[in-house]
Structure 1
Amino acid sequence: MSISVKPNPQDPRVIRTRQLIHQAFVELLQTKEFQEITVSDLTRHATINRVTFYTHYTDKYELLDHMISTQLIQLLYKGIDPQQALTSEALTTLICALCQFHEYSGTECPKNIDSLRSLVETNMKLQLQQYMLEQLTIDLPEHDHAQLVTLSTMISWSLYGATLQWSNEKKDTRDTPLQLAERMTPLLRSWIDMKLTSVVPV
């Protein structure tokens, strides 16, 4: 009985194949709804066979999750040290990264973003929640884990909602990502500090 082993993501051949699949996915989304896209569509458009696709992804949902998480993680950790505490500078960088991600989503999938919104939203909130939990655990290593999970969820949903609303505003009248971040960060920092003081250590 053979054991399925995921390919090495650092292998140049793997990187190239995934780029082909990702590009095919993005291009298909310009003309088709997400639910209409099949694995056959993807393999034909990417000029690969089905075995190759399934070597990398279980289905199109895993493909979507991977694309979202990869893009978001690249933006999240650009200029942020994940080993450091949740500073005001990190929050500012994070808010700008989220704005960039919303812009990326709107540009890559302009005709289908509504049909993908729930999937994108779920994945983004999960990535944000995991990042926030990591940072809060660094800040408060002795505090109750369940409370930190709840707090990280509250923060991540707030960040997602505020930046999503920003992305829906008219480009010629809305703030720049940095302006939004500079307005949000002091409020968010104060709110987080207030919540942290109410979190009781184990």
Structure 2
Amino acid sequence: MGTKVRNIRMTPTKQFLINAFVNLVNEKDFDKISIADITNGAQVNRATFYAHFNDKYELLDYIINDSAAAVIEKRTLGVVKFDQNNIVQLVLAVCDFHQQPNIQCRRSYLSLAPQLKEKMLMELKNYLLRSLDNILSDSEKSFYVSIYANIIHEAGYLWASGYTTFDKEEVAKKASLLIAGDHSKISEGEWL
């Protein structure tokens, strides 16, 4: 199949396909969703689906990419800055992101978790690269950005998955202290 020309604007048909897919993921496992299921839910024909996406994996990528970027934008209010407050907001964005799918079928969520993590890490790294642009050298950025992004993601994911008894604000504060480098204040709950 040839390369599709990417139309970045959201058409009503594309939104119908996305809505149908999200509804289906709430009802059944991702692996069991077919193109026919999606097109029936969106009330469009198969050719219309393929005019927008190559397959259900591309549709999933589209939804996840848009969602990860949007949740970071919302939490940081579009401000790209490396400070404790924005680190807290990034962790909270990850919490929001992993709650967002609102998938009742837990197996479906678990099968999507690797894609969700990959896309969120990519968006976190992009944000951190921009926020550290005038603070660190290129070699330092390449070292720290990946570490920071993984700490931020893991903190938010642990909260969203129910693996911690801390509330999400406390998780975000502790992760920001870890990144800020003042480890003595983490257990005491002090702020910089």
Q: Report if TM-score (shorter chain) is over 0.5.
A: yes
Match of 1:39 in 2: 35
Which structure 1 residue ranges, 5 or more long, are not aligned?
192-202
Instruction: Tell me which of 83, 87, 95 is aligned to 1:87.
Output: 83
Q: Following TM superposition, by how much is the alpha carbon of 1:113 offset from its aligned partner in structure 2, in angstroms?
A: 0.9
- Cα pair 1:132 1:156 within 8 Å, conserved: yes
The TM-score, its normalising length taken from structure 1, stands at: 0.77
Instruction: Tell me which of 37, 45, 48 is aligned to 2:44.
Output: 48
Q: Following TM superposition, by how much is the alpha carbon of 1:104 offset from its aligned partner in structure 2, in angstroms?
A: 1.3
- Cα pair 1:28 1:37 within 8 Å, conserved: yes
Give the partner amino acid of 2:99.
E
Which structure 2 residue ranges, 5 or more long, are not aligned?
183-192
Q: Following TM superposition, by how much is the alpha carbon of 1:177 offset from its aligned partner in structure 2, in angstroms?
A: 2.2
Match of 1:200 in 2: none
Q: Does 1:159 align with 2:152?
A: yes
Match of 2:57 in 1: 61
Match of 1:183 in 2: 174
Give the partner amino acid of 1:185.
S
Percent identity of equivalent pairs = 26
Give the partner amino acid of 1:187.
L
Q: Following TM superposition, by how much is the alpha carbon of 1:182 offset from its aligned partner in structure 2, in angstroms?
A: 2.2
- Cα pair 1:30 1:109 within 8 Å, conserved: yes
Change in CA separation of 1:81 and 1:54 when aligned onto 2, cut-off 3 Å: same
Output the CA distance in 2 between the equivalents of 1:52 and 1:182: 46
Match of 1:198 in 2: none
- Cα pair 1:6 1:55 within 8 Å, conserved: no
Change in CA separation of 1:91 and 1:57 when aligned onto 2, cut-off 3 Å: same
- Cα pair 1:24 1:46 within 8 Å, conserved: yes
What RMSD in Å do the two structures reach over aligned CA positions?
A: 2.5
Please give the secondary structure, in 1, of the residue aligned with 2:133.
helix
Match of 2:113 in 1: 117
Q: Following TM superposition, by how much is the alpha carbon of 1:131 offset from its aligned partner in structure 2, in angstroms?
A: 1.8
Output the CA distance in 2 between the equivalents of 1:3 and 1:168: 38
Change in CA separation of 1:149 and 1:109 when aligned onto 2, cut-off 3 Å: farther
Paired residues, number: 180
- Cα pair 1:82 1:135 within 8 Å, conserved: no
Q: Following TM superposition, by how much is the alpha carbon of 1:79 offset from its aligned partner in structure 2, in angstroms?
A: 4.4
Q: Does 1:25 align with 2:21?
A: yes
The TM-score, its normalising length taken from structure 2, stands at: 0.80
Please give the secondary structure, in 1, of the residue aligned with 2:76.
coil
Change in CA separation of 1:133 and 1:32 when aligned onto 2, cut-off 3 Å: same
Match of 1:196 in 2: none
Change in CA separation of 1:186 and 1:80 when aligned onto 2, cut-off 3 Å: same
- Cα pair 2:91 2:155 within 8 Å, conserved: no
Q: Does 1:97 align with 2:85?
A: no
Q: Which moved more, 1:48-57 or 1:61-70?
A: 48-57
Give the partner amino acid of 2:41.
H
Q: Following TM superposition, by how much is the alpha carbon of 1:81 offset from its aligned partner in structure 2, in angstroms?
A: 5.5
Output the CA distance in 2 between the equivalents of 1:61 and 1:5: 17
Q: Does 1:7 align with 2:7?
A: yes
